[in-house]
A and B are shown apart, each in its own frame.
Chain A
């Protein structure tokens, strides 16, 4: 059974028609502020944050530790109260709901955690049954049916009677995801969901999150401190710095034209670094007769069609050599950098016709 089939049958017996009205606003963060008071100082955890998360988004919130991303995420299901502003979930003002309605609203918002937060005293199946209990579903057959289906969905059909202590980190997070989806939520909040996992497991969990988003239509809001995670799954991103919104927009645009220093710092691990041996020989001035100029050309995704090799030769001349490169495809846009060496002699004509090329320096003949 595929992910989509699983969910659509679920939807049918829950008698709730899918509300996949793609693109409409699902979560509105409206001028949200929050501060903490420590003994001596007042810390602005969040300051005047405005965000709009649309149905079907995989929305990433990124920032360094202490940037306020966790506080912001937890404001969405009111694990964290706020001082000012509104958090609208499907038009409901979450932060001002009376207790009973808050429980009902939270049942429409799934959440997974960095440290999984499973019950160690309960089997996988009993862990999954907890949200059903919260929703007042008591029929044992119904509970069994839903648990089995959700375990199937996350690929742990054989682990139903196992205790969490016997699972690997990746398996625990899959149980966490299954548990978060038990009540067929509209949105899945991911609180650093892959930060405790190794790179390979991270990739598989991110792939699962993406398929849940695509096939079940569950909106995802995730926070992370790694741009690589944003790059792999998100379509839109917000960058937080010191409790303020540094910038937000489609991932490819933020990657192509980061406006804020915080964004550039977070992007640094993903940008092309000049190889050590070349950097050592780099000189600001042209070197001798056979010297070469080292150019960096950044693709910001606005090129449209994939770059043709002929166009590259056309741009930099027949003697151009490709030294290093890194090109990623983000939401259909080519993004990355090329390091190219050309003879010093051809430099003026290249820079004259292509002012977007950056001259890094000059090296002796052999690069």
Chain B
């Protein structure tokens, strides 16, 4: 591999990390918030609001039902409004975030639901405010599951970021398609795959370790 290609690989790796990193940070906050709202507005829950619950549920399902490549195109007007352009890394972050947030929210929702009603009742019985129940009971208790789910989301984000190459976002996926697919350069293709495997491996390792540490308590 020539130094020029190596440089291209390095740049593409950084672009992918940037895209995935920024999207992931937004998805972490927005997804957990959405999951908490989904769980707590359900029937009999602390912020019970059936209509809001149903509406949010439908929106989440709608976004999740749309294939990412279509979402990418459909969101172009919104992307232009938010970042002023429809090409490049920043333009890719908008659809990445919007597609991954409901995905992560559903996974986090499952973990939050697994927090027993007993613990919530205990908190209510001691006179906890609802925000204490959310931040001191629900979230810490569900954290191992949420972190495990976040690793799945991150890996899905890396996959999706390859497709964002279609709108000129750059990154590893874009590099692999341009060199590996269009120019039959299998070395680049292989190098990209190795970098991706390494990324996914590191994410899974860190996640597993964290979850184990939390669960061993």
A interface with B by C-beta (< 8 Å): 77, 79, 102-107, 109-111, 113, 115, 117-122, 130-131, 133-135, 163, 165, 179-180, 182-183, 189
Contact between B124 and A113 (Cβ–Cβ < 8 Å)?
Answer: no
Cβ distance B127 to chain A, nearest Cβ, rounded Å: 4
Within 8 A of A (CB), among B114-135: 116, 118-119, 121-129, 132
Contact between A134 and B132 (Cβ–Cβ < 8 Å)?
Answer: yes
Main secondary structure of the interface of A (DSSP, over half): mixed
Is the C-beta of B200 less than 8 angstroms from some C-beta in chain A? no
12 pairs of residues in contact across A and B, judged by CB atoms under 8 Å: A106-B127, A110-B126, A111-B122, A113-B118, A117-B118, A120-B217, A121-B143, A131-B127, A133-B132, A163-B217, A180-B126, A183-B127
B interface with A by C-beta (< 8 Å): 116, 118-119, 121-129, 132, 136-137, 140-141, 143, 214, 217
Cβ distance B104 to chain A, nearest Cβ, rounded Å: 20
Report which of A105, A120, A134, A189 forms a contact with B128, defined as CB distance below 8 A.
A134
List 15 additional contacts besides A105-B127, A121-B140; criterion CB under 8 Å.
A77-B125, A103-B127, A106-B124, A106-B125, A107-B127, A109-B125, A113-B122, A115-B116, A117-B116, A118-B122, A121-B143, A130-B132, A134-B128, A179-B122, A180-B126
Contact between B126 and A131 (Cβ–Cβ < 8 Å)?
Answer: yes
Given the known inter-chain contacts A79-B121, A113-B118, A119-B119, please indicate yes or no for A135 contacting B127, CB distance below 8 A.
Answer: yes
Given the known inter-chain contacts A106-B124, A130-B136, A163-B217, please indicate yes or no for A117 contacting B119, CB distance below 8 A.
Answer: yes
Interchain CA distance A180-B125 in the complex, whole Å: 9
Interchain CA distance A218-B124 in the complex, whole Å: 20
For residue B121, which residues in chain A have a CB less than 8 angstroms away from its CB?
79, 113, 117
For residue B125, which residues in chain A have a CB less than 8 angstroms away from its CB?
77, 79, 106, 109-111, 189
Interchain CA distance A180-B141 in the complex, whole Å: 20
Contact between B127 and A122 (Cβ–Cβ < 8 Å)?
Answer: no
For residue B119, which residues in chain A have a CB less than 8 angstroms away from its CB?
117-119
Contact between B129 and A103 (Cβ–Cβ < 8 Å)?
Answer: yes
For residue A119, which residues in chain B have a CB less than 8 angstroms away from its CB?
119, 136-137, 140-141
Contact between B140 and A130 (Cβ–Cβ < 8 Å)?
Answer: no
